[in-house]
């Protein structure tokens, strides 16, 4: 099958889940015999797009390290038929208009992917007192409803929507979405995470048994300021050997370092910056607990990767992507969102109980391999593609091949113009640089030199899932399969 992957990250501009997952997707699908081309904004001069690509001109978002945002030109990228059997739109920017235009013009089925939980983001861009003020609250509620309606219309203009947890299925169905929904989590890149780990990278004074780690983009929606405060008030005063290592960079990186000093915990925290993905398994392996306070995750790639490496997680119960993966008491601990005291108690509980950590570690490895191994996930993708092909046969676009003036006006009014003016406002709002500049000397998606065994047959418990796929990868099926295996 010829697959066109629509993405905001044709090249990996900085370390983030969607960008790295896109490159992993192409490698694994091509290993399965498919052909994959990437469609998206021209990358910066520091990053090169590899393989087959269709590139749109891009404008830079200065507020976030000059990340490129695609604009709707050249028009030939969508007016001429692209060489694909299906379009997999893995974009949550206005670039996602590209997919339904290609569907309408050329009759190519398209699947969208939702990786943004819209309600959680508003609370990180504006202060709570502004969001909830009597005058401004109705305005922002109407704005959120408008954005959700816009997303719903774009998704319903395609042939299916891929989400990464059950919470998003419920959310979009409640918004009136009608196209088929598929739960498909992001796979862990086995080529990176199933190779021998390196030597202990932590500071000599960060004692084993008390090491906390978090890896993510340093942006407001990740709530790392809250994590630092929890560490300062609920963990370090009670366990003086505790340490916190923060991996990543981003717009709030400098302010987080300043906050650590202000809270008096700088001596027990370390900011190691952005790392290539191939280095992360070693950091996860030598840590004791992965800690996470973000409530904005539609999946949480770092959660998936750390569980794959057997590091238990303590996190807030977001009822979304994190809670979809972390099963309280099995592979980690979930605490009520915003409850700093309970969060600290959970972390200390794992610090003090090595046997509990070891048992959770083994369970985490098993469950995550059953949930996100590439053989499981990409089989689910293929089934979603066949579902999309069936959907377009049952609901074909009515004006394929039509190049009349009325058709061009329709596309301009519904797709090209909204794409242009909304991206223009977004980019214009970030004309002042945040001071964050992604590293240009790190190949974030560089692969280890040794390629591990990727066969699913090396993990017999995964075979239990064969034939049990229900609308994607279902975490409840995974748990049931593991339970059946143990009782057998």
Mean pLDDT of the chain: 89
Across the range 268-288, mean pLDDT stands at: 95
How far apart, in whole angstroms, are the C-alpha atoms of residue 304 and residue 320?
A: 13
Digit-coded pLDDT (tens) for 145-157:
899 999 999 999 9
Q: Decide: 23 and 187 in contact? Cβ < 8 Å.
A: no
pLDDT band at 469 (very low <50, low <70, confident <90, very high): very low
Using DSSP bridges, classify how beta strands 58-61 and 67-70 pair: parallel, antiparallel or unpaired: antiparallel
- Torsions phi, psi of 87, nearest 5? -110, 125
Digit-coded pLDDT (tens) for 363-413:
999 999 999 999 999 999 999 999 999 999 999 999 999 999 999 999 999
How far apart, in whole angstroms, are the C-alpha atoms of residue 297 and residue 292?
A: 11
The lowest-confidence range among 14-23, 107-116, 315-324, 381-390 is: 14-23
Q: Decide: 188 and 211 in contact? Cβ < 8 Å.
A: no
Other CB atoms within 10 Å distance of the CB of residue 96: 25
Pairwise pLDDT comparison (124 vs 413), residue with the higher score: 413
Across the range 316-324, mean pLDDT stands at: 96
Is pLDDT above 50 for 241? yes
How far apart, in whole angstroms, are the C-alpha atoms of residue 64 and residue 67?
A: 6
3-state secondary structure at position 10: coil
Across the range 77-87, mean pLDDT stands at: 97
pLDDT band at 134 (very low <50, low <70, confident <90, very high): confident
Is pLDDT above 50 for 39? yes
CATH of domain 192-365: 3.40.50.2000
Is pLDDT above 70 for 68? yes
- Torsions phi, psi of 86, nearest 5? -155, 145
Per-residue pLDDT, 468: 35
Residues of the chain by 3-state class (helix, strand, coil), percent to 5? 45, 15, 40
Per-residue pLDDT, 62: 81
Is pLDDT above 90 for 83? yes
CATH architecture for residues 2-189+374-429: 3-Layer(aba) Sandwich (3.40)
How far apart, in whole angstroms, are the C-alpha atoms of residue 31 and residue 16?
A: 23
Q: In which order are the strands placed within the sheet that holds 313-316?
A: 269-273, 243-247, 211-215, 289-292, 313-316, 332-335
Q: Which of 461, 230, 239, 221 is nearest to 362 (CA)?
A: 461
Number of H helices, E strands in the chain: 19, 15
Per-residue pLDDT, 196: 84
- Which tokens go with 271? 């900011």
- Which tokens go with 104? 């309408």
The lowest-confidence range among 174-188, 201-215, 423-437 is: 423-437
Q: Decide: 324 and 186 in contact? Cβ < 8 Å.
A: no
Pairwise pLDDT comparison (456 vs 450), residue with the higher score: 450
Per-residue pLDDT, 360: 97
Pairwise pLDDT comparison (191 vs 234), residue with the higher score: 234
Is the backbone peptide bond immediately before 74 cis, with ω within 30 degrees of 0? yes
Where in the chain is CATH 3.40.50.2000? 2-189+374-429, 192-365
Q: Decide: 36 and 25 in contact? Cβ < 8 Å.
A: yes
Per-residue pLDDT, 466: 34
Global pTM value: 0.87
Is pLDDT above 60 for 323? yes
Across the range 20-34, mean pLDDT stands at: 91
How far apart, in whole angstroms, are the C-alpha atoms of residue 458 and residue 366?
A: 13
- Tell me the sheet residues that pair with 401: none
Is pLDDT above 70 for 467? no
Q: Please state, for a pLDDT cut of 90, what percent of the chain lies above it.
A: 70
Digit-coded pLDDT (tens) for 88-112:
999 989 999 999 999 999 999 999 9
- Tell me the sheet residues that pair with 70: 58
Cα distances from 321 to residues 165, 191, 340, in angstroms, run 6, 23, 20
Per-residue pLDDT, 49: 83
């Amino acid at each position: 099958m010829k697959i066109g992957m629509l993405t905001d990250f044709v090249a990996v501009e900085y370390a983030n889940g969607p960008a790295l997952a896109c490159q992993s997707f192409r490698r694994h699908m091509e290993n399965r015999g498919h052909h994959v081309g990437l469609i998206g904004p021209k990358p910066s001069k520091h990053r090169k797009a590899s393989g087959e690509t269709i590139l749109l001109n891009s404008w830079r978002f200065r507020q976030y390290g000059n990340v490129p945002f695609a604009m709707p030109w050249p028009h030939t990228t969508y007016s001429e038929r692209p060489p694909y059997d299906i379009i997999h739109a893995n974009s949550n920017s206005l670039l996602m208009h590209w997919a339904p235009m290609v569907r309408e013009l050329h009759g190519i089925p398209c699947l969208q992917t939702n990786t943004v939980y819209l309600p959680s983001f508003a609370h990180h861009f504006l202060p709570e007192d502004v969001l909830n003020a009597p005058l401004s609250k109705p305005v922002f509620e109407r704005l959120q409803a408008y954005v959700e309606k816009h997303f719903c219309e774009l998704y319903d203009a395609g042939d299916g929507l891929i989400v990464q947890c059950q919470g998003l299925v419920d959310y979009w169905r409640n918004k009136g979405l009608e196209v088929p929904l598929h739960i498909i989590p992001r796979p862990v890149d086995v080529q990176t995470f199933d190779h021998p780990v390196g030597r202990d990278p932590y500071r000599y004074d960060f004692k084993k048994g008390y090491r906390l780690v978090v890896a993510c983009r340093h942006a407001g929606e990740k709530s790392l300021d809250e994590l630092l405060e929890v560490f300062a008030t609920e963990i370090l005063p009670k366990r003086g050997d505790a340490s916190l290592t923060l991996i990543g960079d981003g717009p709030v990186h400098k302010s987080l370092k300043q906050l650590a000093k202000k809270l008096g915990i700088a001596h027990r925290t370390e900011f190691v910056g952005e790392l290539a993905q191939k280095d992360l398994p070693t950091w996860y392996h030598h840590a004791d607990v992965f800690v996470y306070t973000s409530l904005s995750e539609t999946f949480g790639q770092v959660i998936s990767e750390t569980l794959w490496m057997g590091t238990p997680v303590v996190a807030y119960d977001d009822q979304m992507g994190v809670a979809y993966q972390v099963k309280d008491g099995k592979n980690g601990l979930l605490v009520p969102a915003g409850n700093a005291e309970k969060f600290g108690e959970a972390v200390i509980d794992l610090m003090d109980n090595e046997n509990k950590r070891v048992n959770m570690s083994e369970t985490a490895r098993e469950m995550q391999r059953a949930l996100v191994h590439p053989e499981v996930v990409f089989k689910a993708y293929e089934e979603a593609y066949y579902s999309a092909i069936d959907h377009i046969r049952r609901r074909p676009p009515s004006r394929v091949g039509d190049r009349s003036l009325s058709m061009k006006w329709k596309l301009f009014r519904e797709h090209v113009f909204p794409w242009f003016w909304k991206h223009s406002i977004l980019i214009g709002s970030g004309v002042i640089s945040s001071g964050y500049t992604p590293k240009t000397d790190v190949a974030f998606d560089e692969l280890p030199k040794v390629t591990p065994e990727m066969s699913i047959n090396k993990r017999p418990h995964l075979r239990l899932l064969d034939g049990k796929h229900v609308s994607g990868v279902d975490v409840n099926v995974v748990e049931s399969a593991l339970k059946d295996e143990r009782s057998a």
